[in-house]
């Protein structure tokens, strides 16, 4: 019996907190995020984080736009398989296309500024190092202060209106460091690097990111030892699972006027 892929969208119970108002409950639909291994003629090429829907279309488009095949005729077959916590797309391509792929060398693909490549096997995602973070959830009033102040600290985005930001905040919400980049992952890595170089204690305070919160953003915050991560946009289901496992306090989506906090851990 063929294993089904997980649903692309799952419901998540949230509590909405707003200053001067009672907390209210609501359900938010959030996207699932799954490591997808792409293979050509039996050779693993890379892993992409993707919504587990229309994977045959995704793989076909990827093969063409990455220059692996010159046209659809070179793609002979596409098979999608679901695993316990990942998916795989096996593609059979013609001889000339496969020879060109081999000539490139077996390498991890060029990193993206959005959802990116995590290696050449799903275990590169599923078996990443894990740790727990301090149990120090941020004060929601402090979160609101940080969110209100952050736009004024986004110097590059004020000019270009196209950059992500990651900010490290003291427990009272004062913004201590801000880093910007066209890539949300890059902005967070820059922030962590700046904090390490300046001797910041990442166990006291919280991080704010202006992007959505994918599993990789949660993982990076956990690896830095941050107890709290606040995202302007919604989290993915995998990000919630990763955060819950490590004890990371995750608030998303969040605005200066209101913050949404997941109530439940989403089951796999």
Catalytic (active-site) positions: 115
75-82 and 34-40 beta bridge pairing:
unpaired
Alpha carbon distance 200, 67 (integer Å): 43
175-181 and 164-169 beta bridge pairing:
antiparallel
Q: Are 213 and 229 spatial neighbours (Cβ–Cβ below 8 Å)?
A: yes
Three-state secondary-structure class, residue 213: strand
Alpha carbon distance 238, 219 (integer Å): 10
9: enclosing H helix or E strand: strand 9-18
* In 7-118, alpha helices (H): 55-65, 95-104
Three-state secondary-structure class, residue 91: strand
Alpha carbon distance 27, 193 (integer Å): 36
């Amino acid at each position: 019996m063929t294993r089904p892929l997980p649903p692309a969208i799952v419901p998540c119970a949230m509590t909405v907190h707003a200053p001067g108002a009672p907390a209210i409950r609501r359900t938010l639909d959030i996207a699932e995020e799954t490591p997808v291994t792409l293979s050509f003629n039996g050779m693993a090429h890379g892993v992409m984080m993707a919504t587990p829907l229309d994977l045959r279309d995704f793989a076909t488009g990827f093969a063409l736009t990455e220059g692996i095949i010159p046209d659809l005729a070179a793609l002979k077959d596409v098979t999608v398989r679901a695993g316990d916590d990942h998916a795989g797309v096996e593609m059979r391509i013609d001889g000339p296309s496969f020879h060109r792929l081999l000539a490139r060398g077996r390498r991890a693909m060029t990193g993206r500024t959005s959802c990116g490549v995590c290696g050449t096997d799903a275990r590169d995602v599923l078996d990443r190092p894990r740790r727990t973070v301090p149990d120090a959830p941020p004060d929601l009033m402090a979160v609101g202060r940080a969110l209100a102040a952050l736009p004024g600290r986004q110097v590059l985005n004020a000019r270009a209106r196209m950059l992500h930001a990651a900010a490290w905040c003291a427990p009272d919400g004062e913004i201590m460091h801000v880093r910007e980049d066209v890539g949300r992952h890059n902005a967070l890595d820059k922030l962590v690097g700046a904090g390490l170089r300046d001797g910041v204690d990442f166990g006291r305070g919280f991080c704010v990111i202006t992007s959505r919160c994918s599993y990789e953003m949660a993982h990076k915050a956990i690896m830095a030892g941050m107890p709290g991560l606040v995202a302007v946009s919604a989290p993915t289901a995998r990000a919630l699972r990763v955060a819950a496992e490590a004890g990371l306090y995750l608030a998303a989506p969040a605005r200066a006027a209101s913050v949404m906090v997941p109530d439940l851990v989403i089951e796999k």
